[in-house]
């Protein structure tokens, strides 16, 4: 089965507009995520799935520059964007990543993909419940599961956040979760706020060097053990604020 990363990205973030093109040690943040996605063992291709909005056209150019493929689809119906992108490239297995995770660890993502490829599942993630730092989130699912969600999901939160229909129907999909031995979910390594970008830049300044493999989760943990004050840069933000907002709009919370 071919396994294809579909990496969602857009310029129109409400909390940190243009974050995917923010400089991160000499390259756009999105480029750093693409490079890490390409290092996931078992991945055949990486597709940057952005929107048809004019402001997102540069993201298609960036994808090409960094040897990824580009796809432009719906801005608000991200589930449709994923389905159409996956159908266009003939994906049998979709690995879902987001562009706000420049500390993505290819080895962590590989664990999720490997569990999917063991069989007997339709969907695998490392967030049900989360035990890895926020910013290492990875999902792997079959095109068939994606197609069913695309046909049946009705709530705005299900269309915007792609996979809730799947993991909210555990009786209808075979679901597995990859966990870490120690719960690290309190750690915030994603980029949604200006403070998050400051934190990630501090980490890259201390750890990044060109080459393969890149620094990974354990390297960042060791850095934080040496310099624990770094974690104070971006404390105080809730995990998955965007999804919580969508649920409120659906009248669920």
176-187 pLDDT, tens digit per residue, is 999 999 999 999
Domain edges within the chain: 3-249
CB < 8 Å & 24+ apart, contacts of 80-83: 80/150, 80/159, 81/8, 81/49, 81/51, 82/6, 82/8, 82/49, 82/146, 82/150, 82/162, 83/146, 83/147, 83/150
Strands 123-125 vs 175-177: parallel, antiparallel or unpaired: parallel
Over the stretch 76-105, which tens digit does the pLDDT of each residue have?
999 999 999 999 999 999 999 999 999 999
User: CATH: 3.40.980.10, 3.40.50.2300, 3.90.550.10, 3.30.1130.10. Which one for 3-249?
Assistant: 3.90.550.10
Q: Tell me the two tokens of residue 128.
A: 């049900």
Structure tokens at 145: 């599961």
- pLDDT band (50, 70, 90) for residue 211: confident
């Amino acid at each position: 089965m071919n396994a294809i990363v579909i990496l969602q990205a857009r310029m129109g973030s409400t909390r940190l507009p243009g974050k995917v093109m923010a400089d991160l040690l000499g390259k756009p943040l999105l480029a750093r995520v693409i490079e890490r996605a390409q290092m996931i063992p078992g991945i055949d291709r990486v597709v940057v799935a952005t929107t048809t909005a004019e402001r997102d056209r540069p993201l298609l150019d960036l994808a090409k520059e960094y040897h990824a493929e580009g796809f432009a689809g719906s801005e608000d119906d991200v589930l449709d964007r994923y389905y159409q992108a996956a159908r266009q490239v003939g994906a049998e297995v979709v690995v879902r990543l987001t562009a706000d995770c420049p500390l993505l660890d290819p080895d962590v993502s590989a664990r999720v993909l490997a569990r999917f490829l063991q069989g007997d599942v339709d969907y695998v993630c490392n967030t049900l419940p989360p035990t890895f730092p926020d910013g290492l989130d990875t999902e792997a699912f079959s095109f068939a599961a994606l197609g069913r969600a695309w046909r049946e999901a009705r709530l705005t939160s299900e269309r915007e956040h792609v996979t809730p229909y799947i993991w909210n129907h555990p009786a209808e999909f075979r679901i597995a979760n990859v966990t870490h031995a120690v719960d690290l979910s309190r750690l915030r390594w994603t980029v949604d706020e200006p403070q998050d970008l400051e934190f990630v830049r501090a980490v890259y300044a201390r750890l990044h060097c060109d080459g393969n493999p890149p620094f990974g989760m354990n390297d960042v943990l060791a850095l934080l053990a040496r310099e624990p004050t770094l974690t104070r840069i971006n404390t105080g933000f809730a995990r998955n604020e965007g999804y919580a907002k969508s649920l409120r709009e659906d009248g669920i919370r």
